[in-house]
Amino acid sequence: MRILLLAPAAALVLAACHEIPQDAAKPYAGKADVAPYEGGIFNGDKQKFEQALAERASHENEYLRTGDAKK
């Protein structure tokens, strides 16, 4: 009976001893991030980009799409 209690406890203790070292985070070495409105059809116009997002989001509103919006 004692072995049945000690075996799982020993397994947990030994499993906890194998912790992976957590070194300091390395700096990001990839390319710089580009704002989504800087290229393509918006050419850096943030206001035009935000208007396009709002327009696209309005098409996903079920109340507006089906005409059930309160007037």
> Residues 6-34: what's their mean pLDDT?
78
**Whole-angstrom distance, CA of residue 50 vs CA of residue 44:** 11
Would the pTM of this model clear 0.75, i.e. be above it?
no
Tell me what pLDDT residue 45 has: 94
* pLDDT for 2 beyond 70: yes
Give the C-alpha separation, 54 to 51, whole Å.
Answer: 5
Band (71; pLDDT cuts 50, 70, 90): low
Give the DSSP per-residue string, 4-37: HHHHHHHHHHHHHT-PPP-PPPPPP-SPPP--TT
Give the tens place of pLDDT for each residue, 37-64. Answer: 998 899 999 999 999 999 998 888 888 7
